[in-house]
């Protein structure tokens, strides 16, 4: 096995190990593992938003909806679910594609590392001024 293949193998196995620890009988290990998985999901969501990857953003919303409900942030879950249902049921597919293209605002130059922001974040920044 080449060194790069070995490093990839170790990283994948470590990721599987962390995810499996969520179901450990040791509550401390399960809590730490859950925290690592949740932070990883959140970082992936932020990264997807910054690069403008609408499919990953939608997937992240679906993954985070359980967390938002647990934190009593039902408004966000309801808005997301209603929006997705209406886009898929009441409109042609082209409208869903337009939404995916326009779900972020291209606010910064690509070289800054934060090229795009979410629509709600853009509105919050704009309202500040």
pLDDT, tens digit, 9 for 90 and up, residues 31-86: 999 899 888 888 888 888 888 787 888 888 788 788 778 888 777 778 778 888 88
* Residue linked to tokens 């690509």: 110
Q: Pick the residue with more confidence: 114 or 95?
A: 95
In whole angstroms, what is the distance from residue 46 CA to residue 107 CA?
15
Q: What is the pLDDT of residue 41?
A: 85
In whole angstroms, what is the distance from residue 91 CA to residue 89 CA?
6
Residue 120: Cβ-neighbour burial (10 angstroms; 0-12, 13-18, 19+): exposed
Q: What is the pLDDT of residue 17?
A: 92
Q: What is the pLDDT of residue 26?
A: 92
Q: Is the pLDDT of residue 29 over 80?
A: yes
């Amino acid at each position: 096995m080449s060194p790069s293949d070995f490093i990839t193998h170790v990283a994948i196995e470590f990721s599987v190990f962390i995810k499996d620890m969520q179901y450990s009988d040791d509550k401390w290990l399960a809590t730490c593992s859950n925290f690592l998985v949740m932070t990883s999901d959140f970082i992936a969501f932020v990264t997807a938003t910054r690069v403008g990857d609408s499919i990953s953003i939608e997937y992240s919303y679906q993954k985070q909806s359980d967390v938002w409900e647990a934190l009593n942030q039902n408004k966000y879950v309801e808005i997301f679910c209603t929006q997705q249902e209406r886009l898929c049921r009441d409109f042609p597919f082209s409208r869903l594609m337009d939404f995916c293209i326009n779900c972020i605002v291209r606010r910064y130059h690509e070289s800054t590392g934060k090229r795009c922001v979410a629509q709600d974040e853009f509105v919050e920044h704009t309202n500040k001024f």
